[in-house]
């Protein structure tokens, strides 16, 4: 091990610095985990780097998506003395060093970057506008195709703002309500009388009644499990802004239980909506029990939500931990009581993806179609894909 400070009684400081780097990379971290890491390092010793890495990974990583980030950061922290010195500079002001440029993951690069002083983070709004204005076309194009799960913290915030500007015009259908129009099969007699009053009793035009057209009622089911954590906030912000004008919009989150987010979506501001969602969800980044959540939807909200005109968007990676038989039954009921059941799956970013997991296989059988929602380009194509699927018999 080249980080000699750890052999001179500074193991605790180094573990704290390493934990801070993990937290900046988006890995959940708290004081209990850091204390447990200290105990693990004491038990395995510092003689073998692999043993120490395995011990720290066992106590500091709780999500599979963070495992690669941990290993890359651990390797940089305990092998590259320049990067280690740079990280230690946060703890020891006299330490100096520069990290050489590399092709590390964005979350790792940001974790290794020097932290901005608090005074510099409070920039006026004018400065933020300037940053957006100078974003080059190549940068915008790269962000348009960047996977949400691979974005750094700053990039994630920028992409979240860009996603709010993407429209999602849903297909419209004729309703039973009518409105005056120049076309239509029925005459609009009140309009006829008013126009005749202006022309001395002569009826020069015959106003008609046309059936109104409205967008399909929308039901959104969002997976808030740990594997969907990087997608949930961004997709909620996108859906809130894109469907704000809809008359009927119901939103539910499901993890280990079902949570009604429709009151939170009634907020006019997207940031306020996200704050309200955070306050309402009790099981964020937990497991996924979609079958049980759909059962709660059927028993508690069926009459209010489901109709043959409803478009259902189910956002999930399909990594369900519930019983497949329950999921099959509930998805079958949902499919029979809506116009289209569309599965929005971020795992479609992988070439050759196949829904082989138990929950994913059930979703693939029951959903009318599966669409990708892993980057801005896929969100831009979502409206056209939905319109095409609605037109299909």
Read off the pLDDT of residues 271-306 as tens digits, 9 standing for 90 and up: 889 989 989 988 887 788 899 999 999 999 887 776
Confidence band, pLDDT 50/70/90 cuts, at residue 1: very low
Residues 6+ apart with CB under 8 A from 154: 110
Q: What is the mean pLDDT of residues 121-149?
A: 61
Q: What is the mean pLDDT of residues 53-61?
A: 88
- Diameter over CA atoms, the chain: 104
Please report the pLDDT score of residue 48 as a whole number: 82
Q: What are the tens digits of pLDDT across the range 228-238?
A: 888 998 999 99
pLDDT of 128 strictly over 50 = no
Contact 123, 131 (CB under 8 A): no
- Decide which of 250 and 69 is more confident: 250
**DSSP states of 109-148 as a string?**
HHHHSPPPPHHHH---HHHHHHHHHT--HHHHHHHHT--G
Please report the pLDDT score of residue 238 as a whole number: 93
Backbone angles phi and psi of 227, in degrees to 5? -70, -15
- Decide which of 246 and 125 is more confident: 246
Dist. CA 45–CA 54, nearest whole Å: 12
- Decide which of 42 and 313 is more confident: 313
Percent of all residues in the chain with a pLDDT value above 90, rounded to a whole number: 23
Q: What are the tens digits of pLDDT across the range 358-393?
A: 899 999 999 999 999 999 999 999 988 998 888 877
Dist. CA 87–CA 99, nearest whole Å: 9
Q: What is the mean pLDDT of residues 71-79?
A: 79
Please report the pLDDT score of residue 114 as a whole number: 59
Q: What are the tens digits of pLDDT across the range 151-177?
A: 887 888 888 888 988 998 888 888 888
Contact 70, 22 (CB under 8 A): yes
Residue 81 corresponds to which tokens in the numbers above? Answer: 């003395």
Contact 339, 368 (CB under 8 A): no
Please report the pLDDT score of residue 10 as a whole number: 66
CA end-to-end distance (rounded Å), the chain: 65
Please report the pLDDT score of residue 91 as a whole number: 44
CB atoms inside a 10 Å sphere around CB 90: 14
Please report the pLDDT score of residue 133 as a whole number: 45
Confidence band, pLDDT 50/70/90 cuts, at residue 332: very high
Please report the pLDDT score of residue 209 as a whole number: 87
Beta strand segments in the chain, E? 172-181, 186-187, 208-215, 218-223, 249-254, 258-260, 311-315, 340-344, 369-371
Which residues are registered as beta bridge partners of 173? 214
Name the burial class of residue 264, with classes exposed (0-12), middle (13-18) and buried (19+) by CB atoms within 10 angstroms of its CB.
buried
Residue 59 corresponds to which tokens in the numbers above? Answer: 């106590």
Please report the pLDDT score of residue 97 as a whole number: 42
Q: What is the mean pLDDT of residues 334-350?
A: 91
- Please give the mean pLDDT across all residues of the chain: 80
Dist. CA 386–CA 376, nearest whole Å: 16
């Amino acid at each position: 091990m080249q980080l000699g400070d750890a052999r001179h009684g500074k193991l605790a400081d180094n573990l704290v610095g390493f934990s801070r780097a993990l937290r900046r990379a988006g890995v959940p971290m708290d004081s209990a985990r850091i204390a447990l890491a200290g105990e693990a390092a004491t038990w395995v010793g510092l003689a073998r780097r692999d043993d120490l890495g395995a011990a720290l990974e066992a106590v500091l990583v709780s999500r599979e998506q963070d495992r690669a980030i941990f290993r890359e950061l651990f390797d940089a922290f305990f092998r590259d003395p320049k990067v280690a010195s740079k990280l230690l500079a946060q703890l020891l002001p006299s330490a100096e060093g520069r990290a050489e440029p590399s092709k590390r993951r964005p979350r790792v690069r940001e974790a290794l970057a020097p932290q901005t002083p608090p005074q510099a983070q409070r920039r006026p709004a004018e400065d933020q506008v300037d940053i957006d204005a100078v974003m080059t076309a190549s940068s915008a194009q790269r962000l348009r195709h960047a996977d949400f799960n691979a974005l750094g913290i700053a990039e994630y915030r920028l992409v979240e703002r860009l996603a709010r500007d993407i429209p999602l015009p849903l297909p419209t259908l004729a309703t039973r309500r009518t409105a005056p129009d120049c076309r239509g099969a029925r005459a609009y007699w009140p309009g006829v009388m008013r126009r005749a009053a202006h022309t001395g009793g002569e009826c020069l035009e015959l106003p008609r009644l046309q059936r109104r057209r409205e967008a399909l009622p929308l039901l959104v089911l969002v997976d808030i499990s740990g594997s969907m954590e990087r997608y949930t906030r961004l997709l909620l912000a996108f859906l809130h802004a894109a469907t704000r004008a809809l008359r009927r919009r119901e939103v539910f989150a499901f993890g280990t239980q079902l949570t009604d987010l429709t009151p939170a979506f009634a907020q006019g501001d997207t940031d306020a909506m996200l704050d309200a969602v955070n306050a309402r969800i009790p099981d964020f980044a937990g497991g996924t029990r979609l079958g049980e959540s759909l059962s709660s939807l059927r028993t508690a909200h069926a009459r209010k939500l489901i109709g043959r005109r409803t478009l259902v968007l189910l956002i999930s990676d399909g990594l369900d931990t519930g019983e497949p038989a329950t999921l099959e039954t509930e998805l079958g009921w949902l499919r029979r009581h809506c116009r289209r059941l569309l599965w929005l799956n971020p795992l479609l970013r992988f070439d050759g993806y196949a829904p082989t997991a138990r929950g994913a296989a059930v979703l693939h059988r029951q959903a009318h179609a599966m669409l990708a929602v892993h980057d801005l380009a896929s969100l831009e194509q979502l409206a056209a894909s939905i319109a095409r699927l609605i037109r299909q018999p």
